Amino acid sequence: AGRGEIALGYYADLTIFDPASVADVATYQEPRRHPAGIRYVIVNGEVIVDDGRHTGKAAGRVLRAGR
């Protein structure tokens, strides 16, 4: 319960971006660089990326297949 729609009290992961500005900027030397053009990322109601800047928060958890 609490999943499947964007509503108060529901869990949701949202990414807000302009498709024309998204770009992969990772390189061989820096493979973990975040992509350009991602404005906001919200995980379970926590803002993780705010106006293109990572907030340092970590919400949610990693789900691994087959375990």
pTM over cut 0.85? no
C-alpha dist (Å) from residue 45 to 9, 24, 35, 55: 9, 26, 21, 13
Question: Tokens in use for 7?
Answer: 């509503």
pLDDT greater than 90 at residue 3: no
| Domain ranges within the chain, ordered by starting residue | 13-54
- From CA 13, how far away is CA 24, in angstroms rounded? 21
For tokens 């379970």, the residue is: 44
The pLDDT score that the predictor gives to residue 1 is 64
- Give residue-wise pLDDT tens across range 18-54: 999 999 999 999 998 889 999 999 988 889 999 999 8
Cβ partners under 8 Å of residue 7, min gap 6: none
**pLDDT attached to residue 9:** 82
> pLDDT confidence of 67, banded at 50, 70, 90?
low
